[in-house]
Amino acid sequence: MMQTEVVDRVVREHTEMQEYLLQWEAALLQLDSGDYTGWLRGIEHLWRLVPFLDAELPRHFRAEEEQLFPRVEARHPDAVKALAGFLGEHAELAREWRGYKQDLLYCDAVGVTQPARERGIELIGRLRQHIREEEAALLPLVEAA
């Protein structure tokens, strides 16, 4: 895969992820709409998002680690520390996603929204930050090569 193809794919996937993050955030906010119908719509929407995120997060992280990271490291050996940081973030974000799903199960079972909402909002923010940092720190290194 060529450099520009790798960068274009990462940017395309990040854009798609941002769209899903907006949907996820909106569904979390519905949980606290104050009425059962709003809560039900929110929880249903959240469960519709789970299969995509279950598949996409690990697949995307793996693709970056196998295609993007080696290109950056080969041309910019001084970026190894940054790459290790992003690799660690991938593992942490995957762990947080699993924890969020547990909170969502609890929310669905007993109707307590706070843990799922809070962890979800926090995770959405962390994913957005991660995307911004990757695009700012890594993509220019690949494009410059």
DSSP string, the chain: --HHHHHHHHHHHHHHHHHHHHHHHHHHHHTTSSSHHHHHHHHHHHHHHHHHHHHHHHHHHHHIIIIIHHHHHHH-GGGHHHHHHHHHHHHHHHHHHHHHHHHHHHHHHH---HHHHHHHHHHHHHHHHHHHHHHHHTHHHHHH-
The model's pTM: 0.93
Angle at 14 between CA 10 and CA 19, to 5 degrees: 150
Between the CA of residue 101 and those of 16, 20, 37, 120, 124, what are the distances in Å? 21, 16, 21, 9, 13
Predicted confidence at residue 2, as pLDDT, reads 75
State the residue range of the domain holding 85: 3-144
Instruction: Report pLDDT digits (tens) over 101-144.
Output: 999 999 999 999 999 999 999 999 999 999 999 999 999 988 76
At 145 the pLDDT is 57
The CATH code of the domain that includes 33 is 1.20.120.520
Cβ contact 10:139 at 8 Å: yes
Give tens-digit pLDDT for 7-66: 999 999 999 999 999 999 999 999 888 889 999 999 999 999 999 999 999 999 999 999
d(CA 36, CA 31): 9
Residue type, 100: Y
Q: Domain count of the chain?
A: 1
